Amino acid sequence: MKLRLGILGADDSLAIIESVTREFAELECLKIVYWKEEDIFDLIEPHIHDADLWLFSGKVPYTMVRDWGKITVPMAYVPHMGASLYRTLLHLSHQCGILVHELSFDTFSAEELNLFLEEAGIEGGYTWLKHYDGAISAEELADYHEKLWKEGKTKAAVTCLRTADLELQARGVPVHRVLPTRAGVLSMIHMLLRTQEMLHFKDTQIAVQMMEIDPFRELAGGTFATDEWQNAEIKTMEKLLRYAKHLQGSLKTAGPGRYAIFTTRGSLHNVTSDYSTVPDLEEAFGIRADWVTCGIGIGKTAYEAEIHAGTALLHAKERGPANWMVFFDDKSIVGPLGSKEQISYSSASTRRLQKVSQQTSLSVLTLSKLDSILKKRASQEINAHELAQYMQILPRSARRILIELETKGLAQVVGEESPNPRGRPRKVYRIFM
């Protein structure tokens, strides 16, 4: 099956890109030409789901679409730096007798242009440059170059934008367009293919979803005869079988009220919106969300994924019923899914946290959670109430953690906060770990 490559860019760039893509038998191309930046979203929106990869002819369309946020597959753009710019400057120098300091440039940053000229051995440097991030109008660029040319400060303009190139030509300003090279296009296509291969590998990794469901809650208000218990469990199994089929996975029991679904990372990625939310099991499969506590494990083997799922389930149960946690193959733990206070922490024992753990009565895992919370808040200061909310533990347990750190000289009270006029002031701790 061929990969679908979406290509969006100016007409002259696309001709070069297309000539390179013909060398890749595994690619099927979708070509979109744009003339005005404001048309890009309207042009690409009907094809959002028509491509596995996207390649843009320049930084402007790439940045606009990236910031738009509707494309979730791998994207890249062909850079105008390197051989592309060198070819343009060589032509200007040898064919037109124009030196670098007599030109006005756009798009490039000062840092990358200086580095390029230094590496190319071009002395003297540039004088005029208009750098911009994101989109810019052709008229604004043309005004910049035209003004310098009319004032006699430059002999020509060097632009990376096709629309600016056409606008400057229409105004009679000498302009030279930096076009992508075949080598540059080839490099970007290879990079996209490697990215796609890596993502495919991740999607096909083994994933295990370990769920604890109390089937007897369906008997609330009813009888508790053995037959009724068995019927309740059968009903739960039927619902889970439908869910497992939806995941293209297989279901097995793992003890009373505990079930394991073996599937792939990609399938769970989709139903959890990239491991950020809890899937709506009730509407589609009749499984009430508040009855399910779940741990998801990702691993290189089925055994490793199952072990990770069990560990994730233990972390979920620590936070109370109906929580979902994920244990990835890099030993990071994420969750609870669907929570505004979702955090990511590592179960791997770092030397720094091991040292702190040896100094205190706190486990490396607890310290890793705290470390992750502080990084997420971008602050080393926190009170017990906030820590309790993030960790989903009782405030007194959070206070115990902070007091333990303070006792060992790893935290210091730096102030107090009053949640309301009558409330008890909360101590604010600065953490030193």
| pLDDT per position as a tens digit, 128-177 | 999 887 677 889 999 999 999 999 999 999 998 888 999 999 999 999 99
pLDDT for residue 372: 84
Which distant-in-sequence residues (6+ apart) come within 8 Å of 103 by Cβ? Answer: 92, 126, 128, 154, 155, 156, 157, 158
CA angle (394 as vertex; 392, 399 as ends), nearest 5 = 110
Separation between Cα atoms, residue 251 and residue 59, nearest integer Å: 47
**Residue 221: is its pLDDT beyond 70?**
no
**Residue 229: is its pLDDT beyond 80?**
no
Q: What is the pLDDT of residues 355-380, one digit of tens each?
A: 888 899 998 878 888 988 888 888 89
Containing 410, the helix (H) or strand (E) segment is none
pLDDT for residue 134: 67
**Residue 381: is its pLDDT beyond 80?**
yes
- In the predicted model, what is the mean pLDDT of residues 233-261? 89
Separation between Cα atoms, residue 247 and residue 241, nearest integer Å: 10
Confidence tier at 428 by pLDDT (50, 70, 90)? very high
Q: Which residue has the higher pLDDT, 82 or 179?
A: 179
Q: How many percent of the chain have pLDDT more than 90?
A: 41
Tokens encoding 129:
């440059």
- In the predicted model, what is the mean pLDDT of residues 327-346? 84
pLDDT for residue 226: 65
Question: With 0-12 CB in 10 A as exposed, 13-18 as middle and 19+ as buried, what is 186?
Answer: middle
- 167-170-172-175 Cα dihedral, nearest 10 degrees: 40
Confidence tier at 47 by pLDDT (50, 70, 90)? very high
CA dihedral over 217, 222, 225, 229, signed as positive or negative:
negative
β-bridge mates for residue 31, sequence order: 7
Q: What is the pLDDT of residues 66-111, one digit of tens each?
A: 888 889 889 999 888 777 888 889 888 888 899 999 999 998 888 8
Containing 157, the helix (H) or strand (E) segment is strand 156-159
- In the predicted model, what is the mean pLDDT of residues 105-122? 86
Confidence tier at 349 by pLDDT (50, 70, 90)? low
- In the chain the domains, ranked by start, together with CATH numbers, are 3-79+186-200 (3.40.50.2300), 83-179 (3.40.50.10660), 204-339 (3.30.70.270), 346-431 (1.10.10.10)
β-bridge mates for residue 32, sequence order: 8
**Residue 223: is its pLDDT beyond 60?**
no
Strands of the sheet containing 3-9, edge to edge, are 27-33, 3-9, 53-56, 75-77
**Residue 220: is its pLDDT beyond 60?**
no
